[in-house]
Structures are given as C-alpha cells and as structure tokens.
Chains A and B, each alone.
Chain A
Amino acid sequence: MAGKLKIHIDQDKCQGHARCKALAPELFELDEFGNAHETGDGSVPAGLEDKAWLAKANCPEIAIEVTEE
C-alpha cells in the first residue's frame, strides 16, 4: 500500500464548480463564493483515498493536486 495522500487545490485555477465537495465532502470545503479549499492541511484520512482520486479526476479546471507522502 502506498503512503498517505495529501490534496491541494490551486486557488488560481479553482472556479467553483464544486465537484470535489459533492464527491468528497470530508476532504473539501467551500467558501462564501463557492470556491473550494482542502479541509485542514489536506491530509487524506485512511479510507478516503479513493474519494481523493475521484475528486481529482472530476475537477474540470484540473485544479486539484494529489501527492503521496
């Protein structure tokens, strides 16, 4: 099994499509304008790895980075 995942949203790219929040509500939150931020420091709790990859694969702006620590 690979290492822990960490997610990061590039704020210059995010346009508020909110796909990540719909697919992985535990990993993302929206600000008052509907733009997304990673929850906490972006660490993906065990068991939510698939959701992190799914969110990345559905972001129309390719704004989500997922890295393995």
Chain B
Amino acid sequence: MPEHPPVTDWVHDFDHTDPHWTENPYPIWDELRAASPVVHTDRFLGCYMPTTYEAVREIAHDTTHFSSRRVIVRDVRPPITNTAPPITSDPPEHKPAKQLLLPPFTPDAMKKLEPRVRAICNELIDEFIAEGKCDAAARYTKHIPVRAIAHMLGIPEKDSDQFIKWIHEILELGIKDDATMMRAVQEMTGYFHGHIEARKKNPTDDLITTMMNARDKSGQPLSDGHVLGSLRLLLIAGIDTTWSAIGASLWHLAKTPADRERLIAEPELMPTAIEELLRAYAPVTMAREVMKDTVISGCPVKSGNMVLLSFPSANRDPAMFPDADKVVIDRKENRHAAFGLGIHRCVGSNLARMEMTVAIEEWLKRIPDFGLDPASQVRWSEGTVRGPRQLPVLFGKSA
C-alpha cells in the first residue's frame, strides 16, 4: 500500500489518513476552519475540504456543481464501474432510486426491529459481563449494526465477520489500495448474486426481496446492476457507521462519569443525549466531485477536484453550535449534520438512532459503571468512517 508523507502544513496539505488526524482530528479542524471556510490539498489528485457548517451545507445542497458519483476521497479515480444507488446517484436518477429504499427504514419500521436489536445487545453482553472487562469495540459495538442489517436483508448473521472484512477493505484500505477495494467489491457482489438466485427459487420476505420486486416508473424490474449496487450500499453503509457511533458514545461515557450518572438518573434525556453524541462524534465523512467551477463561502472551487465533505467538522463549527467542543447531553437546539444534509440524507438514520439508543440503554442497564482500561489503548479507524476499533474498558466502580 502506498504510504503518504507526514503532514507538516495542515492548511495547505491536509490528509485525513494521517495518523494525527485519525487519532484526534478536532484541533486540526479548528486550525483549518480558522484559516478558511474551504481549504485545499494537492493530495488525492486534488481535494477541497469545507470546514464550516455553512460551507458544508452549501455543497451538500448543490447538485449542479457537485456530483455524488464518487463518495470516497481516494488516491485514484478509476472509471466508474460499481455504483451504489442512490448514494452514488445524482438528479434526476437519485429520487426514484432513493424512494425504493425509504419505506423499510421509517421510524415505525424501526420500532418493529427494536426487540431484535435489544436481544442482540443482551446476547453480546452475556458473553463478556462475567469477565469484568472487555474490548467494547471488538465484542459489543462491532456486532450490533452488522447483525441488525443482516436481519433486515435476510442474510445469515453468522456471515458478519466476512461483511466486516469487506467493509474494512472498501472504506479504509481502499483509500490507498485500489486492487484490495475492487476485490472486496467483487466478492460482495458475488455473495449477493448468490442470494438473489436463491430467492428466485425460494422467495422470502426481506430487503433483498423488496429490491428484486421493485419496479421503475415504466413498470420494469430494476437492472441486476442496480439491485446489486443498492444491496452493496445497504451492507456497506449499515455496518461500521453505526458501529462507530455506538463506540464513540461508549468511549465518551467511559471517560465522563457525570454524563453516565446523569443518563442513568434521568433516562428521559436519552433522545437529546443521542443527538448530542451524534453531533460531537459524527462518524461519517462523504465525498463529492467538483463537476463545474463555482464559489463556496467566497472561495473559488475548481472542477476536477474532489471534496472531503466533512459533516463531523460542520458539527464542530462554533458559529453554528455554542460550545461546539463540549458534549452537552441536554442541548436543546441541535441541527447537526451527522446524517448529511440535502437529498442524500442517510436512508438509515432512523435505524442508526434506534440502534444507538438501544445499545447504550442496554449497556447502562447491565454495566452502569465502567471506565477506560489504563493498561490498554483506544484505537480509531482511518478514513471515511471514524470510530473506535479498539475500546478496552473495565467494569465496576473502581474503573
């Protein structure tokens, strides 16, 4: 894998795969935001990053100058072959592709899934609670979203480790290693192709079937490429995004006993706390490709470059959020952008909120006291999705 030289000038040469960024991006974003609402790097074949909420909002709403056809900022820009509608779709193809996926992810639909997620959380806790400690990322947060989305898609939850490997290869290693990414995409496509063939013989009642039965405006079935692309999207987007959000929330609660104790004493604060944790530790940064020259927040933006569309940085903009760097679990006004803004609002946002709420509620019920294990280290992921991949915690008051 080609390594990138270390960053010495963040404002003019930023790199979101640099270990300093991966470890603690917040002071870096502050430095970039103080310098300009839009900064540029020559890395990744040329890439802008909007640093303010306003600049992120402008770009997210501008589908004329910015395309979603590439959603990851990478070292290469190969010809576009594997789309994942609707996330990689621009208008006018975007709306019909997205409308197919929205009904299964409404808040009411998520309420029906909630008991299964609650059971998954408790099955996981049963496996490690007697040990008095665990790596909460490896043994808890990692498994909840992958099992939930497998349940919705109608694919075996026991294949979870394979899914997690593909996601790591696509979203992290794939930034710098095209061959690894392409192989993972092809393997995932082959996997879903097998499930589609099986359903032609034995129909089921799940999201794969929903996509197979969907019809376009002219009444025709979707192309195999469209179905496979959307299934890849649901698996890719449904896993380490929420895994990261739950993990960052537990990380915060592990090191902030006051918030933990308050959430236990005042459970009615959970909805605002979840929104605040989403704001403060938003895991997902998307990409856009500049198709036509334009101006964003007074800064010229040239076609041919990518955009690192950092919703997490927008969420830390003090012009939008008072005390943006503080976690305020009863924050009343919170228009955070963790699930994106504009037409590409995350299809799974209601699922993610439900999973986060249930995962934290069930954890706090059974492990009300816990703290970071001083003998081990927290390790964060790199690239498109940020969250703890290693989160060692000790249970009990002494932690």
What class of interface size applies to chain A in its complex with B? 10 to 19
- Measured between beta carbons, the chain B residues less than 8 angstroms from A15 are 341-343, 345
Report the separation of the CA atoms of residues A21 and B349 in the bound assembly, to the nearest whole angstrom: 14
- Measured between beta carbons, the chain B residues less than 8 angstroms from A5 are none
Decide if B199 is an interface residue (CB 8 Å cutoff): no
Report the separation of the CA atoms of residues A32 and B107 in the bound assembly, to the nearest whole angstrom: 10
- Measured between beta carbons, the chain A residues less than 8 angstroms from B343 are 15
Decide if A44 is an interface residue (CB 8 Å cutoff): no
Are B333 and A16 within 8 A (Cβ)?
no
What are 19 A-B pairs with beta-carbon distances under 8 A? A15-B341, A15-B345, A17-B339, A18-B107, A18-B349, A21-B107, A30-B108, A33-B99, A34-B103, A34-B105, A34-B106, A54-B332, A58-B275, A58-B333, A58-B334, A58-B335, A59-B335, A60-B341, A60-B345
Report the separation of the CA atoms of residues A15 and B60 in the bound assembly, to the nearest whole angstrom: 12
5 smallest A-B Cβ distances: which pairs?
A33-B102, A15-B345, A34-B106, A57-B333, A60-B335
- Among candidates B99, B105, B107, B339, residue contacting A22 with C-beta atoms closer than 8 Å: B107
Are B334 and A16 within 8 A (Cβ)?
no
Report the separation of the CA atoms of residues A18 and B108 in the bound assembly, to the nearest whole angstrom: 11
Binary CB contact string for chain B from 90 to 131 against chain A (1 if under 8 A, 0 otherwise): 000000000100110111100000000000000000000000
Decide if B350 is an interface residue (CB 8 Å cutoff): yes
Number of B residues with CB within 8 Å of any CB on chain A: 22
Decide if B70 is an interface residue (CB 8 Å cutoff): no
Are A57 and B107 within 8 A (Cβ)?
no
Distance in Å from the Cβ of B298 to the closest Cβ of chain A? Answer: 21
Decide if B271 is an interface residue (CB 8 Å cutoff): yes
Are A17 and B349 within 8 A (Cβ)?
yes
- Among candidates A32, A57, A62, residue contacting B332 with C-beta atoms closer than 8 Å: A57
- Among candidates B103, B332, B349, residue contacting A33 with C-beta atoms closer than 8 Å: B103
- Among candidates B106, B333, B350, residue contacting A32 with C-beta atoms closer than 8 Å: B106
Decide if B336 is an interface residue (CB 8 Å cutoff): yes
Binary CB contact string for chain B from 182 to 209 against chain A (1 if under 8 A, 0 otherwise): 0000000000000000000000000000
- Measured between beta carbons, the chain B residues less than 8 angstroms from A60 are 335-337, 339, 341, 345
- Measured between beta carbons, the chain A residues less than 8 angstroms from B332 are 54, 57
Known contacts A34-B103, A59-B335; 17 further A-B pairs (Cβ under 8 A): A15-B341, A16-B345, A17-B339, A17-B345, A22-B271, A30-B107, A32-B102, A33-B99, A34-B106, A34-B350, A54-B332, A57-B332, A57-B335, A58-B334, A60-B339, A60-B341, A61-B341
Residue positions of B touching A, CB distance < 8 A: 99, 102-103, 105-108, 271, 275, 332-337, 339, 341-343, 345, 349-350
Distance in Å from the Cβ of A65 to the closest Cβ of chain B? Answer: 15
Binary CB contact string for chain A from 12 to 42 against chain B (1 if under 8 A, 0 otherwise): 0001111001100000001011100000000
Distance in Å from the Cβ of A35 to the closest Cβ of chain B? Answer: 8
Residue positions of A touching B, CB distance < 8 A: 15-18, 21-22, 30, 32-34, 54, 57-62
- Measured between beta carbons, the chain A residues less than 8 angstroms from B339 are 17, 60
Nearest neighbor of A22 in chain B, beta-carbon distance:
B271
Distance in Å from the Cβ of B103 to the closest Cβ of chain A? Answer: 5
Distance in Å from the Cβ of A51 to the closest Cβ of chain B? Answer: 12
Are B335 and A34 within 8 A (Cβ)?
no
* A34-B102 CB under 8 A given contacts A18-B350, A57-B332: yes
Nearest neighbor of B334 in chain A, beta-carbon distance:
A58
Report the separation of the CA atoms of residues A58 and B333 in the bound assembly, to the nearest whole angstrom: 6
Distance in Å from the Cβ of A26 to the closest Cβ of chain B? Answer: 15
Distance in Å from the Cβ of A56 to the closest Cβ of chain B? Answer: 9
- Measured between beta carbons, the chain A residues less than 8 angstroms from B103 are 32-34
Distance in Å from the Cβ of A10 to the closest Cβ of chain B? Answer: 13
Distance in Å from the Cβ of A2 to the closest Cβ of chain B? Answer: 20
Distance in Å from the Cβ of B271 to the closest Cβ of chain A? Answer: 7
- Measured between beta carbons, the chain B residues less than 8 angstroms from A32 are 102-103, 106
Distance in Å from the Cβ of B183 to the closest Cβ of chain A? Answer: 34
Distance in Å from the Cβ of A14 to the closest Cβ of chain B? Answer: 10
